[in-house]
């Protein structure tokens, strides 16, 4: 069975345990599988602040690793949640960037997933060349810092 079919079959198996009605489409891009789900039961899959959707992704990746004996990256998108999330994060990044530019003081952004930090970092890098964004801390205490490039610590890496 082709990898994409295995991903679809396993995703459907997991989803059928959580929700009743949905459509599912799987595509592959750059070695990652995009799983697009359309359903009226989106809140059940997305969860609070996207926690459930991230958990489902991880569980599916573990199932696929066990089945295929290799690491498989998946990104689940429910009812265009990812696009809406990106818009919200870019708006938020713009607000923080304007505040940093005006106050000339760094801003800390807490409680973001690595995916969310990456979106904000890319937005800052693309739209605010005078600013730097970088992360500090570990695990749940990891935070994204937006600051003027001139104020950023020496050797600060602009990573998620």
Q: Does a structural domain hold residue 131? A: yes
> Where does the chain have alpha helices with state H?
3-15, 42-46, 51-68, 81-103, 114-127
The pLDDT assigned to 37 comes to: 97
Do 65 and 90 sit in the same domain of this protein?
no
For the ranges 29-33, 52-56, 90-94, 96-100, the lowest mean pLDDT is seen at 29-33
Q: State how far the Cα of 61 lies from the Cα of 41, in Å rounded to an integer.
A: 22
**CA atoms of 65 and 57, how far apart (whole Å):** 12
**Does 67 lie in the same domain as 46?**
yes
Q: Find the CATH number of the domain harbouring 59.
A: 3.30.300.20
User: Does residue 158 lie in a domain region?
Assistant: no
Say if CB 78 and CB 40 are below 8 A apart: no
Percentage of the chain beyond pLDDT 70 is 96
Mean pLDDT of the chain: 92
Q: How confident is the model at residue 151 (pLDDT cuts 50, 70, 90)?
A: confident
The residue-averaged pLDDT of 39-58 equals 93
Taking CA atoms, 91 is separated from 136, 140, 143, in Å, by: 22, 23, 18
Mean pLDDT, to the nearest integer, of 31-42? 95
What residue has token string 């498989």? 72
Domain that holds residue 128: 84-148
Residue 31 is predicted with a pLDDT of 85
Residue 88 placed within a domain: yes
Residue 124 falls inside a structural domain? yes
pLDDT of res. 77: 95
- What's the structural domain count of the chain? 2
Q: Each residue of 83-100: pLDDT tens digit?
A: 999 999 999 999 999 999
- Residues 96, 114: one domain? yes
CATH number at residue 121: 3.30.1370.50
Same domain assignment for residues 64 and 101: no
Q: Is residue 157 part of a domain?
A: no
pTM of the model: 0.75
Across 48-52, average pLDDT? 88
Q: Identify whether the C-beta of residue 93 lies closer than 8 Å to the C-beta of residue 125.
A: no
């Amino acid at each position: 069975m082709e990898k994409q079919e295995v991903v679809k079959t396993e995703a459907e198996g997991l989803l059928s345990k959580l929700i009743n009605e949905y459509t599912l489409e799987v595509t592959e891009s750059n070695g990652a599988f995009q799983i697009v789900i359309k359903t009226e039961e989106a809140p059940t899959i997305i969860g609070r602040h996207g926690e459930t959707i991230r958990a489902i992704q991880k569980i599916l990746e573990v199932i696929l690793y066990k089945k295929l004996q290799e690491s498989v990256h998946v990104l689940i998108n429910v009812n265009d949640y990812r696009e809406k999330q990106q818009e919200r994060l870019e708006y938020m990044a713009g607000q923080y960037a304007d505040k940093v530019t005006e106050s000339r003081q760094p801003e800390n952004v807490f409680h973001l997933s690595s995916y969310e930090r990456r979106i904000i970092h890319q937005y800052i890098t693309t739209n605010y060349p005078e600013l730097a964004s970088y992360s500090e801390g570990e695990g749940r205490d990891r935070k994204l810092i937006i600051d003027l490039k001139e104020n950023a610590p020496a050797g600060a890496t602009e990573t998620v």
